[in-house]
Amino acid sequence: MVRAIYPGSFDPITYGHIDIARRASTLFDELYVVVMENKKKNYTFTVEERVEMVKECLKDIPNIHVDTFSGLLVEYTAQKNIDVVIRGLRAVTDFEYELQMALANKEIRNGVETIFLMTDKNYSFLSSSLVKEVASFGGKISQWVPEFVEIMVRKKYEKHAK
């Protein structure tokens, strides 16, 4: 049984993330999509909201488990006996950060391999921040996130506007 983890902030999940999760789920017996904390980010959504959105968007894929964890990624992988980390790569600008994380994770827990899936060409520019920026100005985001997420994002910015 080969398990992999697809960790991220998912603030919020986009079609780019969904595409990576879907493709990774076909490569492994079990895929853990885990909502984690990136210390460099100030989140718009609570961890509960991010998990709710991820669960809703991936509920039709039977070998995906959605979870959350607030410690080190490698601690989670050790607990669950997972040796493969999946990350999506968009442009070359992602590379340095991803390389640093992959090498650091391997250094902390020997045996953890990171596998990068290239983004679908349609989503190579897409990010959660872009979705939020456009939504904050009232722009259209339905081409980038499922309806469930769109509603949550809209609610968030309505609240902020009040």
Q: Does 88 bind ligand PNS (CB under 6 A)?
A: no
Q: How far is the CB of 66 from ligand PNS (least distance, A)?
A: 14
Query: Smallest Cα–Cα separation from 12: which of 53, 40, 42, 41?
Result: 53
Q: Are 85 and 5 in contact (CB under 8 A)?
A: yes
Q: How many residues touch ligand PNS (CB under 6 A)?
A: 12
Instruction: Count the Cβ atoms, other than its own, within 10 Å of residue 150.
Output: 18
Which entry of 41, 59, 154, 155 is annotated as an active-site residue?
A: 41
Q: Does 105 bind ligand PNS (CB under 6 A)?
A: yes
Q: Which is nearer to ligand PNS, 129 or 138 (CB)?
A: 129
Q: Does 94 bind ligand PNS (CB under 6 A)?
A: no
Which member of 22, 47, 61, 72 binds ligand PNS (CB under 6 A)?
72
Which member of 24, 36, 57, 64 binds ligand PNS (CB under 6 A)?
36
Helix axes 73-80, 95-108, angle to 10 degrees: 50
Q: Does 37 bind ligand PNS (CB under 6 A)?
A: yes
Q: How far is the CB of 48 from ligand PNS (least distance, A)?
A: 16
Is 160 marked active-site? no
Burial status of residue 25 (CB atoms within 10 A of its CB: 0-12, 13-18, 19 or more):
buried
Kindly state the tokens that stand for 140. 């259209």
Placement of tokens 């902390």 in the chain: 108
Placement of tokens 């999946």 in the chain: 86
Contacting residues toward ligand PNS, per CB under 6 A: 7-9, 36-38, 41, 72-73, 101, 104-105
